[in-house]
Amino acid sequence: MAFRFLPLVLFIFILLPFNALAQTKSTVAVGDSLSAGNGYSTWLLSPSGDFSFGFHPLDINNNDLFLLSIWYAKIPDKTIVWYANGNKPAPKGSKVQLTSDRGFVLTSPNGTDLWKSQVIDVSGVALAALNDTGNLVLQDPKFKVVWETFKDPRDSLLPTQILEKGGKLFSRTFEANFSTGRYQIFLQQDGNLVFYSVNLPSGYANENYFESGTVVSNSSSAGHLLVFDPSGDLYVLKDDNERFSLSPSGKTPSNDISTGFYLRATLNFDGVFSLYKYPKNKNSSDQKQSWIPVWSQPENICTSSLASAGSGVCGYNSICDLNDAQRPICQCPQGYSLIDPNDAYGSCKPDFTQGCEEDRRLHDFQVLINTDWPLSDYVLQRPFTEEECKQSCLEDCFCSVAIFRLGDSCWKKKLPLSNGRVDANLNNSKAFIKVKKNN
């Protein structure tokens, strides 16, 4: 007679809260919940132990705000690869619960909804599982997947993940700020994979600064999917199964990269899309190990991006240049300073009052080579000598910068200056930036 009740006992055990067991579970049932406490709170762990899902502190030195997220569990810095509530960080004491009708529901301590998974399937949710690929899935009672993070990406893709037509990646605002940033990757309905910036808060899309060109033509079919191959290759798969690889020429991952390294492809907050690797068998004595960039697109975002209705990669009156990792750095010209000292990529303001002809003796020029703000011209003077170019700007109330190029051409520019960049292809052109004399 005792055996008659065994299935019932097992069923009740499955429905019990998993709070004490969640640290080692890769699945949870409807009704289970997790609260944000101190530090990292792991709710689900993939069978391999590579990925965790739960509450990740927004600041490891501060346990006041949390992201409901997926991160690499075996990496010391616990790199986040997916997050639910970037625009609404969860205060301490917030709770996430798995429900049958709405899937995951994240609520604040006072019960306000912060985020929920968009489950549309009428069959409902039975359980959640975190796979070894890093994909978090919701399944109905017949184990059909009704929602998954691989089809709801944020700023990163993982091996085996695909992006379908209409799919997007969104950058963060900053490295440590997970709210939606101003860069997007979009696989358009015509099959073209494009990168572009948007003007926040409206979301107006600026010109593409990278595109695959995988649209229908006389010699080619359209793009169908963006595929992150388990081997480490990232490509647009066309309707005729031809591939357009995103890796720059000569930078295709080696054959052993998929076995010896963790991989992720991330749209960084500065607009650069990069493939990264991290050794799985890290030497415990090596405390300086970090993610290693394999390749980046575009190779030079400073010169690739040109926003006719925006500031460009950097803020207004700023200058974009690349560091050794092909990531943009922004600098204010001499005599200018950041409007917001906490935003190194923001706009710069002049630390002096622009002068006209009557006080031109109070101004001088800072000279920069191969620097330009290409969309800020208001007049071209030709033919002009270098001295005539400088003098014309000095006597002009509107002129903030004069660019002398081609031996006889003088472009005068006024504030605000946009799309500033260093460009070696300018062939030793000179930028004369009007500044106040020290005395």
CATH numeric code, 14-152: 2.90.10.10
Nearest CA-CA partner of 419 in 399, 401, 398, 434? 401
pLDDT at 259: 80
pLDDT digits (tens, 9 = 90+) for 332-377: 999 999 999 999 999 999 998 775 655 667 788 999 999 999 999 9
Domain ranges of the chain: 14-152, 155-299, 305-436
Which residue positions in the chain have pLDDT lower than 70?
Answer: 1-24, 250, 252-256, 282-288, 355-360, 439
14-152 and 155-299 share one fold: yes
What's the pLDDT score for residue 21? 38
- Among 402, 338, 412, residue whose Cα is nearest residue 364: 402
Report the pLDDT value the prediction gives residue 14, as an integer from 0 to 100: 41
What is the DSSP track for 175-224? TTEEEEEEEEEEE-TTS-EEEEEEETTTTEEEEEEEE---S--SS---EE
pLDDT of residue 256: 66
Handedness of CA 19, 21, 27, 28 (dihedral sign): negative
CATH number for region 155-299 = 2.90.10.30
Q: Is 199:310 a contact under the CB 8 Å cutoff?
A: yes
Contact 296, 272 (CB under 8 A): yes
pTM of the model: 0.89
What's residue 260's pLDDT? 87
